[in-house]
Amino acid sequence: MMGFEQKIDTAIGASALEWWREAGVDTLIDEAPRNWLAAEHAPAPVRAAPAARTAASAPPALAYPDTLAAFETWRLSDAAPEARWPGVRIGTQGEAKGGLMVLLEMPERDDTPDRLLGGAPGALFDRMLTAIGQSRTSIYLAPMAVVRPISGRIPADAEPPLATLIRAQLRLAAPKALLILGNAASRALVGTDVARARGHLHVINHEGGKASVTAVTSFHPRFLLERPAAKAEAWKDLQLLIGGLL
């Protein structure tokens, strides 16, 4: 079994790699000095034979349950994309019938299966809900990833499949409005970070384009605790939500 110190080293390494990826570093270089100005004589490219396209080579399509309750259970099962991620699986909480769905990026570090978005960020989130006449019992609170990655950030290659799952969940929950909190969730559904996406109403298509939901993006409560000056902008987002949708 992996020792405690080895686990710590793994976590630190994953966090460092994720930081460099966000910084734009995507190429490794040799440790030995190299003359980058010297002309290179690249070998002639070899044309590979086209690979046979067979049903076996195509990735299998995920079969989603056709009811919301079954879908929520499936998201916490070993069939979910995050099933191999270490950590506690925390799923959706609240009721979809209230009409407002709130999408988070992932559980917080200290969240528990019976309390999604807890601690100081959760306390601020509760005050935000109260300000627009809502509460945890009246909303449908869902994480995009049901397991928090070790690095604290959703890997870039995991965002597209998780976005597909969220769209399937939107189809089943059929909310009247959607509040998206955090950059990863905003990128997955709106296509850009919160800083660029906020301040506007966005139409999120689902069910093959046959249905849609209008969404507002805003800062995650964790970000607002780190940068209190952004609370004024977050309040404008909430006003946009209740003025145009609820």
pLDDT value of position 108: 92
The CA distance from 194 to 79, in Å, is 30
Q: What is the CA radius of gyration of the chain?
A: 21
- Span of 40-54, 181-195, 208-222 with lowest mean pLDDT: 40-54
pLDDT value of position 232: 95
Residues 6+ apart with CB under 8 A from 71: 64, 65, 168, 169, 172
141: three-class secondary structure by DSSP: strand
* pLDDT of 130 above 80: yes
**Confidence class of residue 207 from pLDDT cuts 50, 70 and 90?**
low
Average pLDDT over residues 44-69: 51
pLDDT value of position 18: 52
Average pLDDT over residues 197-202: 91
Average pLDDT over residues 75-96: 91
Average pLDDT over residues 8-29: 47
pLDDT value of position 97: 87
Does the reported pTM lie above 0.75? no
What are phi and psi for residue 178, nearest 5 degrees? -130, 125
182: three-class secondary structure by DSSP: coil
pLDDT value of position 209: 57
**Confidence class of residue 46 from pLDDT cuts 50, 70 and 90?**
very low
DSSP state letters, 20-89: HHHTT------SS---TTS---PPPPPPPPPPP--TTTSPPPP---SSHHHHHHHHTSTTSGGGGSSS--
Q: What is the mean pLDDT of the chain?
A: 79
The CA distance from 98 to 34, in Å, is 62
The CA distance from 141 to 69, in Å, is 14
pLDDT value of position 69: 94
pLDDT digits (tens, 9 = 90+) for 137-169: 999 999 999 999 988 899 888 888 999 999 999
* pLDDT of 225 above 70: yes
Containing 5, the helix (H) or strand (E) segment is helix 4-22
pLDDT value of position 133: 92
**Confidence class of residue 38 from pLDDT cuts 50, 70 and 90?**
very low
Containing 126, the helix (H) or strand (E) segment is helix 119-131
pLDDT value of position 20: 45
% of the chain at pLDDT higher than 70: 72
The CA distance from 216 to 225, in Å, is 20
Average pLDDT over residues 24-47: 46
* pLDDT of 10 above 80: no
**Confidence class of residue 208 from pLDDT cuts 50, 70 and 90?**
low
